[in-house]
Amino acid sequence: MKINFTKMQGLGNDFVILDYDEFLKIGKTPSDLALKLCDRKFSIGADGLIIVNPNAKDTDIEWIFYNSDGTMAQMCGNGMRCFAKYVTDKNIINKKQFSVKTEAGIICPEILDNGEIKVNMNLPVLEPSKIPFCEEKTLDYKLNIKDKVFSINTVSMGNPHCIIFTDEDTMTLAKNYGAYIETHELFPEKTNVEFVNIKSKNEVTLSVWERGCGITLACGTGACATTVAGVLRGFLDNNVKVNLPGGSLNIEWAGSLSNTNYPVFMTGKAEYSFTGTVEV
């Protein structure tokens, strides 16, 4: 059977997008479908699969999101920007600001006049049990991995993140230590890992080891979590340019150690790669 698909990317973080009717034709679970379609050697290839469900209750629309390894992901910032552009360009949604049902709660993207997408990513989650992280100390926790001791900071943006501020080369650290931290027993649902160089109070460069994917060119929730952790540690101001291998995002968070009850806003681009049909 052949189905229609669209391939999109946000800063090089790439996704296969399917309309719900195409998904229903197949008779496969989203997990099995993600494993097949996201395979870069035998199929389309992507970091994740997004299924558009217009039949949402209590929100304008719903997405179904799975990582390339077949695991469900609660949230993906780059994927959300691609999703928002796709559903508005196809007139599935006929307004510039709308609500999306996700496993991380209701997310509200907005299509800006310059074509970029601004997403209200909701409040950061800092309670250890909800991240989840199996220690009470979530900032500057010392974690021994192989031959190094890392100062880690844990934040959830609907999905778990481990942020490490460092003066070393971030990509080298991601390649050498990312998988070990992702699967560490302190993270019962595994974790995304961000290695961060601070350029100034308003700019960072980071490399990402993404849960269920490995090295990726960008991670929107990771950029958000990094900004939150940086503000809480006193390293960053409330408006930060986050440079990733695939491009840059602007992250805004008005929170502080004394009051974390503010949503995180992420602004960036989303672009089409190609459309086509695929045998499944």
Compute CA distances 22 → 5, 6, 52, whole Å. Answer: 8, 11, 10
Question: Of the listed 38, 76, 82, 108, which one is catalytic?
Answer: 76
Locate 203 and state its tokens: 């700019």
Catalytic residue check, 219:
yes
The residue count for the chain: 280
Strand, helix or coil for residue 152 = strand
Select from 55, 13, 14 the least CA-distant residue to 37: 14
Question: What is the spatial distance between Cα 131 and Cα 121, in angstroms, rounded to a whole number?
Answer: 15
Catalytic residue among 108, 162, 219, 224: 219
231 torsion bin: left (phi>0), alpha (psi -120 to 50), beta (else): alpha
Helix (H, G, I), strand (E, B) or coil at 69: coil
Tokens of 52: 């558009």
- Whole-angstrom Cα distance, residue 228 to residue 8? 27
Residue 213 annotated among the catalytic residues of the structure: no
Please name which of 265, 267, 268, 233 lies closest in space to residue 123, comparing C-alpha atoms: 265
Count other C-beta atoms under 10 Å from residue 4's C-beta: 13
Contacts of 177 (CB under 8 A, 6+ apart): 145, 146, 148, 150, 193, 209
Q: Please identify every residue annotated as catalytic.
A: 76, 219
